[in-house]
Structure 1
Amino acid sequence: MFLNLLLSLAIVGVVALATIVLRRLKNRQVRQDALWFGYEQHMNELREASPEAEMARVAQVYQRAKSGTKAAIVWERTGAEQDSWFEGSNPSPGDLLLLRGSAGWGPDSASPNVFYVAPGQVLSSMTVGAQAAAARHRHRLAATGVTP
């Protein structure tokens, strides 16, 4: 009888501890999601304040080298795809970037419209995971009727 009581208390204790740990992890994720949502809003405000900067998403990375990365980007405002060269930078597919740069001749692709991004011209970036966190927070806000 005493052993059954002890076993029952142990099970209740483990369940209570697991519940506390899971709640803390969920609360941490909610806080992190809110931070990424705020960062996304900051990127949008920075874009509006910087008329020469635009948002683009990395669609595909063709080649990585010590000196930079060849990638295809898709411009957020227009949906147009463009080849690009990121000098000294290593973006990943799906990254959202706030960019400055200039178009020029691409000798490898024989294209007159390669977008060149020099060091320091990636003004801000968000990984796929950070974008997902911001989207989760946006969804939470919409579910509670709060508008950002």
Structure 2
Amino acid sequence: METIAPILPVLFVGGLVALVVVTTRSRRRRERVALAAQWDWMLREREARRPTGVRMLQVESVYQRARRGSKARVRWCDSGAVQDAWFQGWHAPPGAFVLAVGQTGWGPHNQIRNVLYVGPGQVYGWAPAAASVAWQRLQATA
């Protein structure tokens, strides 16, 4: 029994480390699966809403957050076109993919002629940038 006593704390710590590693990997896997599911939903929703004019865009950067919304630079996923956008009543997360519909018009504050105006209720869903990567990784391992 005397020879086992010094080893017990080492075994205990080793067991704790193994438990933390397994738990962390499991949590990351669950997060990746949830993100992939969110991206899968975005793809299906984009196709279902396409006839109504809903398109997917990615928020490249947000250059102003105001009380009533945010101004951003966005890239349309289908064409790659870049334009400024005003999201009224919503703070667009940088990097996010967004399903939205809006109107293009004159931007009086920045003198830009083709600002996309996305009003309240015109954002139909969004996913963080990591969602598409998680979905691609899950597809590669399936």
TM-score normalised according to structure 1 size: 0.85
Shift of 1:140: 4.6
Which residue pairs with 2:104 in the alignment? 103
Which residue pairs with 1:54 in the alignment? 55
Aligned length: 140
What are the superposed Cα offsets for residues 48-101 of structure 1, whole Å, 9 maximum, x if unpaired?
Answer: 011111111111212111111111100111111011001011112211111111
For structure 1, list consecutive stretches of 5 or more residues without a partner in the other structure. Answer: none
Shift of 1:139: 2.0
Which residue pairs with 2:136 in the alignment? 138
What is the letter of the counterpart of residue 110 of structure 2? S
RMSD after superposition? 1.8
Contact 2:36-2:138 at 8 Å conserved across structures: no
Shift of 1:109: 2.1
Where 2:19 maps in the other structure, the secondary structure is helix
What is the letter of the counterpart of residue 82 of structure 2? E
Shift of 1:43: 0.4
CA 1:28–1:9 in structure 2 vs 1: closer, same or farther (change >3 Å)? same
Contact 1:70-1:84 at 8 Å conserved across structures: yes
Where 1:24 maps in the other structure, the secondary structure is helix
Counterpart CA distance in 1 for 2:57 and 2:139 is: 25
Contact 1:30-1:137 at 8 Å conserved across structures: no
Which residue pairs with 1:82 in the alignment? 83
What is the letter of the counterpart of residue 126 of structure 2? S
Where 2:104 maps in the other structure, the secondary structure is strand
For structure 2, list consecutive stretches of 5 or more residues without a partner in the other structure. Answer: none
Counterpart CA distance in 2 for 1:137 and 1:16 is: 33
